[in-house]
Amino acid sequence: MQINWFTVIAQILNFLVLVWLMKRYLYKPILDMIDAREKKIAGQLADAKATKSEAKAEQDEFNKKNRVFDQQKNALMDKAIAEVGVQSQKLLAEAKNNARALQDKLEKAAKDQQADVNHQREKETEKEVFAITKKVLADLADVDFEAQSVHTFIKRINGIKEAEKATFIKALHSASGPILVQSAFDLPEKQQAEIKSAVTKILGAQPSFEFKTAPGLIGGIELTTKGYTLGWSITAYVNSFEKSIGEAGKQIPVTGKKHHAIK
C-alpha cells in the first residue's frame, strides 16, 4: 500500500489549522472565562475571608463586652447583696429595738395596771375596814358610854387653848342662832345642863342651845356655831385616821411602785 503524501500533508495542515482555529476561537475564550471565573471566586473567597475576619473580630469584641458586662454585673450584684445584708442587719436591729421597747412598754403598762388594781383594792379594803370599824364601834356604844363621852367632851371644852378659845368665843358671839349640840343618843337634861354650864363659863353669858341626835357620831358629841365646830367622838378619830391614810396614799406614786397594804 502506497502512502499518499499529499493527503497526509493536507490532513496535517488541516489539523494544524484546526488546532490554531480552536486555540484562537475556542480555547482562549474558554481559558479567559475560566481565569475570570477563578479571579471572581478568589475575590469572593477573599471577601468571605475578610467578612469572616470582621465577624470574628466583632464576635471577639462582643465576647469581650459580655465578659466586662458579666464582671460589672457580678460586682453590682455583690455590692447589692452586701448593701442588702447591711440594710437587713440594720432593719433587724431596729426591729429588735422596737420589739424590746414595745415589750418594755407592755411590761410597764402591765405593772402600772397591776399597781392601779392593787391600789384600788387597797382603797376599797381601807373603806371596808373603816366602815366595819365604824359599825362595830356603833354597835358597842351604849348610854353609859355616851355619858362618859359627855364628860370627855366637857373636859375638851375646859381644856382648849387660848387661841382656840378666842376663836370659839368670837364664833359664839357672832352667831345669830342657837348653838347646835349633836350627839348619837338623846342627852339627859343633866348632861345638857353640864354642857351649857361649861360653854357659859367660857362665854361669860348664857347663849341659847339646840340639842339634836346624830346617829353618825359614834360615841361622841359635836358643838357647832357660825362655821366653828368643837367636838369629840370616835368617828372623828376614825375619819382623821382615814383621811391621813388617804393623803399618805396620794403621796405614794402609783406607777412602777408596789403599794404596801395596811396591816
pLDDT in tens, 213-230: 887 766 678 878 776 777
What topology does CATH give the domain 120-251?
A: Dihydrodipicolinate Reductase; domain 2 (3.30.360)
β 209-213/179-183 pair status: parallel
Residues 6+ apart with CB under 8 A from 210: 177, 178, 179, 180, 181
Domain ranges of the chain: 120-251
pLDDT in tens, 126-169: 566 545 555 555 554 455 666 677 788 888 888 878 887 788 77
Tell which wins on pLDDT, 157 or 205: 157
**Which string of DSSP letters, residue by residue, matches 144-159?**
HHHHHHHHHHHHHHHT
Highest mean pLDDT among 47-51, 201-205, 241-245: 47-51
Is residue 225 within 8 A of residue 199, CB to CB? The reply is no
In the predicted model, what is the mean pLDDT of residues 72-84?
A: 84
What pLDDT, on the 0 to 100 scale, is given for residue 144? 60
The percentage of the chain sitting over the pLDDT mark of 90, rounded to a whole number, equals: 0
- The yes-or-no verdict on residue 173 having pLDDT over 80 is no
Q: How far apart are CA 176 and CA 173, in angstroms?
A: 8
What pLDDT, on the 0 to 100 scale, is given for residue 255? 42
pLDDT in tens, 58-68: 888 888 888 88
